[in-house]
Chains A and B, each alone.
Chain A
Amino acid sequence: MSHDNSTPPNLFSAQEPIFPRRVKGTFRTLKWWIMAFTLGVYYITPWLRWDRGPNLPDQAVLVDLAHRRFFFFMIEIWPHEFYFIAGLLIMAGLGLFLFTSAAGRVWCGYACPQTVWTDLYILVERWVEGDRNARLRLYHQAWNGEKVRKRAVKWTIWLLIGLATGGAWVFYFTDAPTLARDLVAGTAHPVAYMTIAILTATTFVFGGFAREQICIYACPWPRIQAAMMDEDTLTIGYRDWRGEPRGKASVAGNGDCIDCMACVNVCPMGIDIRDGQQMACITCGLCIDACNDVMTRLDKPHSLIGYLALTDETAERAGKPRKSVWKHVFRPRTIVYTALWAGVGIALIAALFLRTEIDVNVTPVRNPQFVVLSDGSIRNTYELRLRNKHGEDRWFAISASAAGSALFLTLEGQEDLRVLVPANETKTQKLYVTAAHDTGTAKAERTDLRIWVEDAGTTASPSTDRVHHDTVFNGKG
């Protein structure tokens, strides 16, 4: 295997075209269902409606960047609740760790958008140009009328799919029906058109032409995945101890592999799984379907190519049975990942139910620390950020409690201790807290202060929502 120094190596090589053959089987069927589900969710979600009452959008899933709100069915996330998004991202990460350590690159093989859209593009390619052999012929044939027509039809459909992909993306960020009308009328924001153009181009190029190049050369995730796999991780493998020596079935002494190349011909990555685990394999399972089909026809047992782990290989070579799939999946490592994943999930759900419809943040004004009034009393100023998540304007009542002497409260610009917070908005309000000059609070250096905000509600729907924020009152010390 040593490199021959007499001939300089090629530094660059052109992309080798791949013409995956059609295949039927368990994994192909599974992949069709996953494709239908993921693409369905992606294209349909922006069109789902969800009634939130007046003043709020009725789109079920909406990332409203302009107003800094994220809507997901009954859940509404404000910027200060971004930890929900962080939590979901952590869960997504842990979920990938879990699936990768249990079953290898299942994300790559089944759910990754690059895989799903490439699969869809290959499906279109097959409809227009025929299966592998027809496509190979077309590839080698000169640019005659047939080739031009087939390529033009294929690329047009690809472009339309790309357009729909980019088009669906922008609907997540604003009201979908309105934007759809504006897009058609040509009055939508230029950013919408640019986003659609860029995503159309990337979908067209990545799904139609770059395909496996993205997985092999551009994507960092397969490189990271290797760190999460161990000897018990299920990956796709070829049982060479059963298949070799490969050759005609009629020749005595040959293994089960008849070297029919079915596994190679169906592979969207253009690899030969019989070379063993390799970087380019996205574990899509199509070679398993192809090989099982041949084994059925030869009346030989299935799973010459199948999901197996490194420990299975050792066991089977020694003539022992392999571990059950469940033993591979339920291991301390995957259980720890599951526990972490569920822990974050439960914490997020708990946080979701514990949040209130009103909220307050308090920033004490500490320049200066306190103000002496003409009668010698001590005043502290606090900036309140009051959040009203209701769909209608609400009166918030402000109060404060501290151990010891009574405090005198006033709100800047308000007649009493109530402030009207507009619907679905944050209002900044200054609160003055004063302690009489001869009280302990005025004389002490610091006094713990708890500021309460109570939703006075509306006459129609009285509320009991009440939140507080702890801070400190500074005295003369």
Chain B
Amino acid sequence: MCAKSVKKKPDDVGTTGHTWDGIQELNNPMPRWWLWSLYATIIWGIGYTIAYPAWPLLTGSTQGVIGADERAEVAAEIKRFDDANAPMKAALVAADLGAIAGDEALRTYAVSSGSAVFKTFCAQCHGAGAAGVEGKGYPNLLDNDWLWGGDIEAIHTTISHGIRNTTDPDARYSEMPKFGVDELLDKDQIGAVVEYVLQISGQEHDAALATAGATIFSDNCAACHGPAGLGDRAQGAPNLTDAIWLYGGARDTLTTTVTYARFGVMPSWTGRLSEDELRSVATYVHGLGGGE
């Protein structure tokens, strides 16, 4: 029996000289394979910098010998998704607008795609949550009040051509007269008609002035806003009797509106968005809670 334990004894290796509470630290040698693994990592590292883009040069860097290119990988990934989505986009364009919401697969695709489009192109004015900016003329798309119509076709048309822009001949257009600036009504008449609007929208008002305002309203405003002030979607004339105001419903705001008129503009998205994107974002907006 020539056996001896392979573990080194303290006498064989000595100590490092470090002592804690009488405990000495043996000076065991490192296993040689650790050294080999260090060399292996060095060789790996050199190979890696040859295979992949690595060393900086005056302009650019070494490109590596295996042609690795993450930009190309990203482009390929994007193309892969585009190809995968192509049949869905084609189906979306081919579908009847009114049938999209009823088709679970189409609707799911349109809502998620439309959400991305909305956050890229629409959120600047309408807000990321689509709540608009109250009092500034950016409409809230979550409520059930629509200037130009709230069904999917009407929303699609509004997005496709925009409102009152000068670039799209099919843009929705209407113009409220500047009653004050153009002296169509004098200050007292404006004050009276404002009291009438306050009355029909259920707000605190001066009853005597409102009565006078009613006549002025039917002479000057009813053509667009309707005899009862319920608005007219064909002209984008807002309903004046509900709780929703694009620029605000308070007395002084209404006075400003009647005096100077408002001229909100929305760009035309035809050409900037593809038809499948227009339909996606229309489906998304229609599904925000106010769609008709």
Q: List chain A positions with a Cβ less than 8 A from chain B.
A: 1-4, 9-18, 210, 213, 217, 260-261, 264-265, 267, 269-272, 275, 278, 280, 365, 367-368, 371-376, 379, 381, 412-413, 430, 432, 437
Some 17 contacts from A to B, beta carbons below 8 A apart, are A1-B10, A1-B15, A3-B15, A9-B14, A13-B29, A213-B33, A271-B7, A275-B9, A368-B131, A368-B142, A372-B243, A373-B143, A373-B243, A374-B144, A375-B243, A381-B142, A430-B289
* Closest CB in chain A relative to B96 CB, distance in Å: 17
- Cβ contact within 8 Å between A11 and B30: yes
Residues facing A in B20-68 (CB within 8 A) are 24, 27, 29-35
- Cβ contact within 8 Å between B243 and A376: yes
Residues of B within 8 A of A213 (CB): 31, 33
B97 on the A face (CB < 8 A): no
- Cβ contact within 8 Å between A379 and B289: yes
Q: How far is the CA of A260 from the CA of B2 in the complex (A)?
A: 10
B145 on the A face (CB < 8 A): yes
* Closest CB in chain B relative to A207 CB, distance in Å: 16
Residues of B within 8 A of A3 (CB): 14-17, 27
Q: Which 3 A-B pairs have the closest CB atoms?
A: A3-B14, A367-B129, A16-B6
Q: How far is the CA of A368 from the CA of B143 in the complex (A)?
A: 11
B107 on the A face (CB < 8 A): yes
Q: How far is the CA of A11 from the CA of B13 in the complex (A)?
A: 10
Q: How far is the CA of A367 from the CA of B288 in the complex (A)?
A: 12
- Cβ contact within 8 Å between B32 and A12: yes
Q: Which residue of B lies closest to A432 (CB)?
A: B289
B287 on the A face (CB < 8 A): yes
Q: How far is the CA of A375 from the CA of B242 in the complex (A)?
A: 6
Given A12-B34, A13-B29, A432-B289, check contact A265 B3 (CB 8 Å).
Answer: yes
Task: Choose among A15, A16, A368, A374 the residue that contacts B129 (Cβ–Cβ < 8 A).
Answer: A368
Q: Which residue of B lies closest to A216 (CB)?
A: B31
| Cβ contacts B120-158/A at 8 Å (1 or 0 each) | 000000011101000000001011110000000000000
B74 on the A face (CB < 8 A): no
* Closest CB in chain B relative to A382 CB, distance in Å: 11
Residues of B within 8 A of A368 (CB): 127, 129, 131, 140, 142
- Cβ contact within 8 Å between A12 and B35: yes
Q: How far is the CA of A278 from the CA of B35 in the complex (A)?
A: 25
Q: Which residue of B lies closest to A14 (CB)?
A: B32
B4 on the A face (CB < 8 A): yes
Residues of B within 8 A of A16 (CB): 6
- Cβ contact within 8 Å between B107 and A413: yes
Residues of B within 8 A of A9 (CB): 13-14, 27, 29
Q: Which of B140, B242, B287, B289 has the most CB of A within 10 A?
A: B289
Inter-chain pairs besides A373-B244, A375-B242, 18 sampled, C-beta below 8 Å? A1-B14, A1-B24, A2-B15, A2-B17, A9-B27, A12-B29, A13-B32, A217-B34, A264-B5, A270-B6, A270-B7, A271-B6, A272-B4, A367-B127, A368-B131, A374-B242, A376-B243, A379-B289
- Cβ contact within 8 Å between B5 and A272: yes
Q: Which residue of A lies closest to B1 (CB)?
A: A261
- Cβ contact within 8 Å between B287 and A272: no
- Cβ contact within 8 Å between B289 and A381: yes
- Cβ contact within 8 Å between B1 and A13: no
Residues of A within 8 A of B107 (CB): 413
B199 on the A face (CB < 8 A): no
B160 on the A face (CB < 8 A): no
- Cβ contact within 8 Å between A374 and B244: yes
Residues of A within 8 A of B140 (CB): 368, 371
Residues of B within 8 A of A261 (CB): 1, 3-4
Q: Which residue of A lies closest to B241 (CB)?
A: A374
- Cβ contact within 8 Å between B13 and A413: no
Q: How far is the CA of A265 from the CA of B35 in the complex (A)?
A: 29
Residues of B within 8 A of A412 (CB): 287, 289
Q: How far is the CA of A270 from the CA of B7 in the complex (A)?
A: 6
* Closest CB in chain B relative to A423 CB, distance in Å: 15
Residues of A within 8 A of B24 (CB): 1
Residues of A within 8 A of B101 (CB): 413
- Cβ contact within 8 Å between A371 and B289: yes
Q: Which residue of A lies closest to B291 (CB)?
A: A412
* Closest CB in chain A relative to B234 CB, distance in Å: 18
B239 on the A face (CB < 8 A): yes
* Closest CB in chain A relative to B248 CB, distance in Å: 13
| Cβ contacts B193-214/A at 8 Å (1 or 0 each) | 0000000001000000000000
B73 on the A face (CB < 8 A): no
Q: Which residue of A lies closest to B141 (CB)?
A: A371
- Cβ contact within 8 Å between B14 and A264: no
* Closest CB in chain A relative to B97 CB, distance in Å: 15
- Cβ contact within 8 Å between A413 and B287: yes
Given A3-B15, A3-B27, A9-B14, check contact A373 B7 (CB 8 Å).
Answer: no
Residues of A within 8 A of B289 (CB): 371, 379, 381, 412, 430, 432
* Closest CB in chain A relative to B6 CB, distance in Å: 4
Q: How far is the CA of A2 from the CA of B107 in the complex (A)?
A: 81
- Cβ contact within 8 Å between B3 and A264: yes
Q: How far is the CA of A275 from the CA of B10 in the complex (A)?
A: 10
- Cβ contact within 8 Å between B243 and A267: no
* Closest CB in chain B relative to A333 CB, distance in Å: 23
Q: Which of B3, B15, B107, B128 has the most CB of A within 10 A?
A: B3
* Closest CB in chain A relative to B11 CB, distance in Å: 7
Residues of B within 8 A of A432 (CB): 289
* Closest CB in chain A relative to B31 CB, distance in Å: 6
Residues facing A in B77-111 (CB within 8 A) are 101, 107
Q: How far is the CA of A41 from the CA of B245 in the complex (A)?
A: 70
* Closest CB in chain B relative to A133 CB, distance in Å: 10
- Cβ contact within 8 Å between B131 and A367: yes
Q: How far is the CA of A413 from the CA of B144 in the complex (A)?
A: 15
